[in-house]
Structure 1
Amino acid sequence: EGGAEGFSKMAEHHALLSVHHEVIAAPQIKHLPSYRSHSEVTAYLPGDVGKQVPHVLSDQLAKRYPYPDPAHYDDLQPTVAYGRQGVAKTMGVLQRLVQEPDEAVQKLSEEAILELKQANIQKLNEAMYDHTVVGDTVTGENADKNVQLLKELLADKDPTVKRGAAEVLGRFSTILQGRKAVCSSGCAESLAEMLEDLDSADVRLAAGKTLQILTQSIDGRDDVVQNVADGKVVVMMVKALLDTATRDKGIPTPKLTPVLLESLANLLMFDDSIVLALKGNIMEFIVKTLRLRTHNMPALKCLCSLCGHPDGKRGAIEAKALQALSGLLASEKPVERQLSARAVLCMCVDDVGKQQAAVVVPNLVQQLYEEDHDLYMNALLAIRTISEWPETRAYVKTVLRDDPQTFESVFKDHQIHLAAFRF
């Protein structure tokens, strides 16, 4: 009896479950492959109770947060899915926007075209991530078109586009073929003109950094000086250096000053470029910079380059560069002391420099006690050159009078090292 009674209760329980399952509706949206039909969902088994709950919740969420419709693909928008062809495709988009507008571009407003140019030039700059990509872009079949496109973008009205184009050309300038393309296409002149851009200091700084990269290598320096419009870039860089360092012209850019000084130090290795720079009154600016103790390293490099020419030596002496170097010879930085001694050495090849060099003798003598060979040699050769003038030689002996051992050592080194070293 007990077994029969238990069986009947179980049957009633199953009957109630079946009624319960029939009341619960099937899922409105089919999600799982195992519940495709009403019969599979409502199997009328005790173990299947509650399996509809995920379906009900999913249906509610699907109604509240529906899946978005597939977005329309705009081939003018930059995308991260370009892969290795990212540069080529982005260049193609920019070419459509700037050089060869089709019907889709012509329907756009100027604001929309500007936004697309800004986004694509940023994408292009990001895609130039290594020398392989840069090399493929510069040496590929569309290399000339790419450089001409960037040259046109340098003349764009928007500062963001101009800055982006200058930065891309800076990536080009990291390899030999890119430097050749930048110089031969006229982009170097356009970059030099952008140094005095009236719209944005970021544009001026980006152009200056690109020119700095371009002039760091020997081939780039030679191309800029000898093959680009007879030194026009040097003239514009000197003018921009003087105009952006002050507030008189309304385009002050303090961060651009050391960049241009570094670039000019590389370019002023030729007599023609030194003459052009001296005509632009660069010497007075460099001496003033040294007196103010601002940008010492690039200013000293530039001074040493200028003093490689006779006119540069005389110009530095007349601008009182020896007096400005007197304090830098006692600088805390060894490199500044070394460059200062080298500049003194170059200037004192001129007889007028020998006559006025007494002001730098004490600090030069102090460098004779340096353990660093380069510091010692620069000071030694500078003192040797200075000592060719009788009055200055007597002053050197007076300074070394209290240390006969050092004087004897210096005298011996003067006999060993040829005078040609100072040149």
Structure 2
Amino acid sequence: MAKTVISQKLPPDIDPTKAPLAYGDRALPRLNRELNDKELITRQRALMTLCDYLHDPEHIAEALRVGVAESLKKLLSDKDPTVRHKTTEVLYVIATHNKGRDAFLDYGIIVPLSKLFDDSVDLARKNAHMAMEMMSEIPYGAAGVVEAQLVPKLVGKLRDELNEIKELILDTLHFCLRVETMHALVAGAMEVFTELLGHNQAIIRAKAARDIMDLSVPLDGKNKACEVKALPPLVGLLKDGDTYVRSMAAGAIATITITTQGKYLALEAGAIPHLVELVEDKNSEVRLNSLKALTTLSEAPEGRKELLNHVDLIKKRMEDESEAVVKAATIAVRVITWKP
């Protein structure tokens, strides 16, 4: 199931005909009435038209003014699968607009939308997650998702959802973890993220490593990463063929190894040789995160001793084209060569 590609096609028995669009400022009020019509085909056609009409951002504010948000909220629980899938598609379009995201909170759409995470229709679930991810990209939207107690549910969905939906969930959690981490820790997110480090898709490995980095910002997260043995697979990803994976793995290691326990677990996993290699990576973000990780590891006597053999290589990065890398290299050299 996890490898299935979600089809965008409507079921063969569905009439794809759109509702005729009324002229001018009568268009949206009429569509809103049709969204609440008792006839299924009328609701379906109205949704088809609305999907196209709202791609023009200027129409979204007017749609919200005439009550479309409330109508869509009701349609999330419609018995017809096509209605549910097209409703989530419209809500995703609305969520791309600032006023649309405000409406999600004003009309209490987040919780009803989250119920479609369990929908039998793949496309309805995907659209629901797309809308939720878009909502979470702004701080107050992510706070709304957290306050709705949805983080544990999102973590649970990572275990058995389709891969393209897993990506969306990892992105939503990434933004939610900037707001609050305790719910995710209690829900076992660190364990799930660590499992996903071995995923066969590079994008999921990278986003899992990124979310481990987010979750490891507080001390409890760093300790949990050590407890669930996240460091060995993260060290393994430093050799990954994908640039984004290497960057996020190095970033996660840099965050976890701020603690003494994290330092020694990373040293035991053989992190230093791989991080030293990445100091000369073609990608500046990989170089930057690797230098940050080497700096924290050099704070341990054993790490400093090993890194003294590589100071000249790190010094070369003090002339890097990236200002951030130059700064990180300067700090790394200073810490490695420090003498009591």
TM-score (norm 2): 0.81
**Aligned equivalent of 2:296:** 385
**Aligned equivalent of 1:235:** 152
> Would the aligned equivalents of 1:330 and 1:337 in 2 still touch at CA under 8 Å?
yes
Alpha-carbon distance between aligned partners in 2 of 1:160 and 1:127, rounded to the nearest angstrom: 18
Alpha-carbon distance between aligned partners in 2 of 1:345 and 1:414, rounded to the nearest angstrom: 14
Alpha-carbon distance between aligned partners in 2 of 1:203 and 1:268, rounded to the nearest angstrom: 25
Q: Cα distance, 1:370 vs. partner?
A: 3.0
**Aligned equivalent of 2:28:** 87
**Aligned equivalent of 2:60:** 134
Identity %: 25
> Would the aligned equivalents of 1:188 and 1:233 in 2 still touch at CA under 8 Å?
no
1:331 counterpart = 2:252: no
**Aligned equivalent of 2:3:** none
1:125 counterpart = 2:51: yes
Q: Cα distance, 1:407 vs. partner?
A: 5.8
**Aligned equivalent of 2:19:** 78
1:188 counterpart = 2:110: yes
Give the 3 Å change call, closer, same or farther, for CA 261–371 of structure 1 in structure 2.
closer
SS of residue in 2 equivalent to 1:129? coil
Give the 3 Å change call, closer, same or farther, for CA 178–418 of structure 1 in structure 2.
farther
Q: Cα distance, 1:173 vs. partner?
A: 1.0
Structure 1 counterpart of 2:30, one-letter code: K
Runs of 4+ residues deviating >6 angstroms: 415-419
**Aligned equivalent of 2:280:** 369
Structure 2 counterpart of 1:200, one-letter code: V
Q: Cα distance, 1:334 vs. partner?
A: 2.5
The gaps in structure 1 that reach 5 residues or longer are: 1-76, 99-112, 246-252
Q: In terms of mean alpha carbon deviation, does 295-304 or 206-215 score higher?
A: 295-304
**Aligned equivalent of 2:132:** 211
Matched length: 305
Q: Cα distance, 1:340 vs. partner?
A: 1.3
Q: Cα distance, 1:410 vs. partner?
A: 7.9
Q: Cα distance, 1:82 vs. partner?
A: 4.2
Alpha-carbon distance between aligned partners in 1 of 2:34 and 2:313, rounded to the nearest angstrom: 71
SS of residue in 2 equivalent to 1:370? coil
> Would the aligned equivalents of 2:294 and 2:332 in 1 still touch at CA under 8 Å?
no
Q: Cα distance, 1:380 vs. partner?
A: 1.4
Alpha-carbon distance between aligned partners in 2 of 1:361 and 1:168, rounded to the nearest angstrom: 49
The gaps in structure 2 that reach 5 residues or longer are: 1-17, 319-328
Structure 1 counterpart of 2:86, one-letter code: G
SS of residue in 1 equivalent to 2:158? helix
Give the 3 Å change call, closer, same or farther, for CA 157–209 of structure 1 in structure 2.
same
Q: Deviations over 1:214-249 (max 9, x none)?
A: 112334223433xxxx3412232223333x33xxxx
SS of residue in 2 equivalent to 1:160? helix
Q: Cα distance, 1:353 vs. partner?
A: 0.6
Among 346, 349, 361, the alignment partner of 2:255 is 346
Larger Rg: 1
Alignment of 1:13-412 (within 5 A): 78-80=19-21, 82=23, 85-95=26-36, 97=37, 113-138=39-64, 140=65, 142=66, 145-197=67-119, 199-225=120-146, 230-242=147-159, 244-245=160-161, 253-271=162-180, 274-294=181-201, 295-358=204-267, 359-370=270-281, 372-397=283-308, 401=309, 405-406=312-313
Structure 1 counterpart of 2:195, one-letter code: K
